[in-house]
Amino acid sequence: MSTRERLLFKLIVLAGMRVSEVFGLRRGRVIPSETLKTAMGSDNLMVRHIRPRLKIVRLGWVDYRVMRRTHLSLRQEINVDPKLVADQQGHGVDTNQNV
């Protein structure tokens, strides 16, 4: 996995960004694909780079929503202020605290 793919993965899991937010980021004009002529698609990232690695550890069922939820769970596990987590996720505090 290249630096580009690792960065996108970390923005989703560690920063808790939505896929649309990550792929909406711009440096120059686009998050470039391998050809540097078109934008990289979220489906291509998942199918070509993330899912094969997840399958190795028997997590082939994981999708972007699960990764975003993982971010939330990790923050709650280390007792990050619920208001901060809610702000990062773009939710109200009650949305993040509902079980």
- Overall domain count for the chain: 1
**Secondary structure in 3-state letters for the chain:** CCHHHHHHHHHHHCCCCCHHHHHHCCCCCCCECCCCCCECCHHHHHHHHHHHHHHHCCCCCCCHHHHHHHHHHHHHHCCCCHHHHHHHHCCCHHHHHCC
This prediction has a pTM of 0.68
pLDDT at 21: 83
Q: How confident is the model at residue 98 (pLDDT cuts 50, 70, 90)?
A: low
Range of the domain at 81: 3-97
Q: Residue 94: which pLDDT band, with cuts at 50, 70 and 90? A: low
